[in-house]
């Protein structure tokens, strides 16, 4: 007999254009999949019935780019610019990270995601200082129960070696080892990608080698491009085009300084886009190009990036993107003394944070919307809370009113990972592990600074 759960009487925002919204409806889950969605499902169905009345039922959020390994150093760089980040994080903390620190951070960071209603994560793991580091990161993701793409990145033992015209290629033998050990099947909760540094940070030979590696191993590529006053000048998309490497298998992160030609090149190649709005405006990457990417027919997604400097929830990203893009458009029309047009909408933002995210992560066939046959990655938002009630529009309630405290329940592949407002996990252990890592890392950095140059 299949395991069945019936979510009864919720306000369902399916994000499926064929199903639309159900102001009051039921969702039937069988094992890991959505079996039925309807205004009412037979009351006699053999299932565990969960009262969803007074709740808004949505697909899980999808975070398409997070350096999860940085959970142990959360908040250490609140005032950092992008330039500061490279020195304060990648050249200071990253070199002293052990596999245990990566494990603790990935476990705690993934649980943080689940607590906030993020059911799918692209873990951009540029912390593979030894062969044990990727194993530790993957173990943390596995134990959390999150759906994730583990994006294998470079080591980070020296800023000069890995980010200044680097000649060091991510080791293909170890990428292959990780793929064969953990990702021999594409049906599990975890899938794999390659997190490459790309042109501007690496020599052309390294760029060619890493793109060829990913394509030979059959895994997607994710790369930071066109962010900040330095990287923005690299013309990274034009460089990739000149190398013949643009493709539909690549996600471009930030994209703040694209030329019109580069937008066209990405759109024509079928590439995808991940935008981290709060980081971009706060740290100086550039203006988040959400509306701009839509103009070119792309389906942008949202991501958190670094919890060293910004919050780790999707509500923050939605509001940052929404407010920033509308402010920029308002300013343009104010200068013309005309009413503003073409604003992003609250519903667009919810679609970007769910369905678009699944598209960018290469998982739209299994998550991102509440659709019969897809995986049961579902979030229940408590709409009875004082910061949400009374609800006039459920989409607005989620995108502009709710916060992490309103995430009452989270299911991934039909299993509760959060229920009745509490994670179904040993949170105390995860917190102790990541606090221990914090203390060890601070000590290691202090010791390193104490050594004479």
Q: Residue 28 sits in a domain of what CATH number? A: 2.30.40.10
Is residue 421 left, alpha or beta, with left meaning phi > 0 and alpha meaning psi from -120 to 50? left
CA-only gyration radius of the chain, Å = 22
pLDDT of residue 1: 63
Domain assignment present for 75:
yes
48 and 89 fall within a common domain:
no
pLDDT category at 453 given cuts 50, 70, 90 is: low
Among residues 360, 381, 407, which one ends one of the domains? 360
Position with higher pLDDT, 417 vs 448: 417
pLDDT digits (tens, 9 = 90+) for 4-34: 999 999 999 999 999 999 999 999 999 999 9
Q: Which of 360, 378, 408 is the last residue of a domain?
A: 360
Asked whether residue 434 is assigned to any structural domain, the reply reads no
Does this model's pTM top 0.95? yes
In a domain, 262, yes or no: yes
Average pLDDT over residues 298-316: 98
3 state SS of 91? coil
Nearest to 303 by CA among 276, 325, 271: 276
Q: In the Cβ-directed half-sphere of 224, how many Cα atoms lie within 13 Å? A: 24
Do the domain assignments include residue 438?
A: no
Is the per-residue pLDDT at 56 higher than 90?
yes
| pLDDT value of position 50 | 97
- Domain coverage including residue 11: 4-59+368-420
- Please tell me whether residues 87 and 144 are part of one structural domain: yes
Instruction: For residues 256 and 334, state if they share a domain.
Output: yes
| Residue 299 near residue 267, CB atoms below 8 Å | no
In this predicted model, which residue has the larger pLDDT, 43 or 114?
A: 114
pLDDT for residue 187: 86
326-352 pLDDT, tens digit per residue, is 988 877 766 766 666 678 999 999 999
pLDDT digits (tens, 9 = 90+) for 145-200: 999 999 999 999 999 999 999 999 999 999 999 999 999 888 899 999 999 999 98
Question: Domain end: 360, 377, 398, which one?
Answer: 360
Question: Are 218 and 204 within one domain?
Answer: yes
| pLDDT score for 424 | 98
> Residues 138, 42: one domain?
no
Tens of pLDDT along 213-241?
999 999 999 999 999 877 666 799 999 99
313 in a structural domain: yes
Query: Based on the domain organization, do 75 and 176 belong to the same domain?
Result: yes
Percent with pLDDT over 90 in the chain: 90
* 93 lies in the same domain as 209: yes
Mean pLDDT of the chain: 95
The answer to whether residue 428 is domain-embedded is no
Residues 378/411, Cβ–Cβ less than 8 Å = yes
**pLDDT at residue 448, as a whole number:** 83
Residue 142: CATH number of its domain = 3.20.20.140
Same domain, 279 and 382: no
Q: Say yes or no: 137 and 249 in one domain.
A: yes
Residue 427 lies in a domain: no
The verdict on residue 426 lying in a domain is: no
Domain count, the chain: 2
pLDDT at 368 over 80: yes
Per cent of the chain over pLDDT 70 is: 96
pLDDT in tens, 71-120: 999 999 999 999 999 999 999 999 999 999 999 999 999 999 999 999 99
Same domain? For 201 and 271 the reply is: yes
* Shared-domain flag, residues 336 and 390: no
- In sequence order, what DSSP letters do the residues of 355-387 get, joined into one string? HHHHHHTT-TTTSSS--TTSB--EEEEETTSTT
């Amino acid at each position: 007999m299949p395991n069945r759960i019936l979510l009864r009487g919720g306000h369902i925002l399916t994000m499926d254009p064929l199903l639309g919204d159900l102001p009051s409806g039921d969702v039937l889950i069988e094992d890991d999949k959505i079996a039925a969605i309807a205004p009412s499902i037979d009351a006699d169905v053999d299932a565990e019935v969960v009262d969803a009345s007074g709740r808004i039922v949505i697909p899980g959020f999808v975070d398409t780019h997070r350096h999860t390994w940085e959970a142990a150093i959360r908040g250490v760089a609140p005032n950092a610019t992008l330039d500061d980040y490279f020195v304060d994080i990648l050249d200071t903390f990253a070199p002293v990270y052990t596999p245990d620190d990566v494990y603790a951070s990935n476990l705690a960071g993934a649980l943080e995601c689940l607590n906030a209603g993020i059911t799918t994560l692209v873990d951009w793991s540029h912390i593979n200082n030894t062969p044990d580091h990727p194993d530790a990161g993957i173990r943390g993701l596995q134990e959390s129960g999150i759906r994730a793409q583990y994006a294998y990145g470079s080591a980070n033992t020296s800023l000069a070696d890995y980010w200044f015209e680097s000649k060091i290629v991510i080791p293909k033998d170890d990428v292959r080892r990780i793929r064969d050990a953990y990702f021999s099947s594409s049906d599990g909760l975890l899938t794999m990608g390659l997190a490459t540094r790309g042109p501007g940070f690496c020599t052309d030979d390294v760029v060619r080698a890493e793109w060829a590696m990913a394509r030979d191993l059959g895994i997607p590529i994710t790369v930071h491009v066109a962010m900040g006053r330095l990287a923005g000048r690299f013309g990274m998309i034009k460089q990739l085009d000149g190398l013949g490497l643009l493709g539909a298998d690549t996600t471009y992160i930030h994209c703040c300084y694209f030329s019109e030609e580069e937008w066209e090149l990405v759109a024509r190649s079928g590439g995808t886009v991940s935008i981290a709005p709060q980081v971009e405006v706060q740290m100086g990457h550039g203006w988040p190009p959400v509306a701009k990417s839509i103009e070119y027919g792309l389906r942008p997604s949202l991501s958190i990036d670094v919890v060293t400097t910004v919050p780790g929830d999707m509500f923050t990203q939605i509001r940052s993107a929404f407010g920033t893009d509308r402010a920029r458009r308002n300013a343009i029309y104010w200068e013309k003394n005309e009413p503003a047009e073409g604003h992003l909408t609250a519903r667009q933002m919810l679609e970007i944070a769910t369905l678009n995210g699944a598209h960018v992560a290469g998982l739209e066939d299994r998550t991102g919307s509440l659709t019969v046959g897809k995986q049961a990655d579902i979030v229940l938002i408590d709409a009875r809370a004082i910061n949400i009630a009374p609800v006039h529009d459920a989409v607005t309630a989620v995108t502009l009113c709710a916060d992490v405290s309103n995430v009452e329940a989270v299911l991934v592949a039909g299993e509760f990972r959060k229920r009745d407002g509490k994670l179904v996990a040993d949170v105390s252990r995860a917190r102790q592990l990541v606090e221990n890592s914090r203390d060890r890392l601070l000590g290691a950095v202090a010791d390193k600074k104490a050594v004479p140059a």
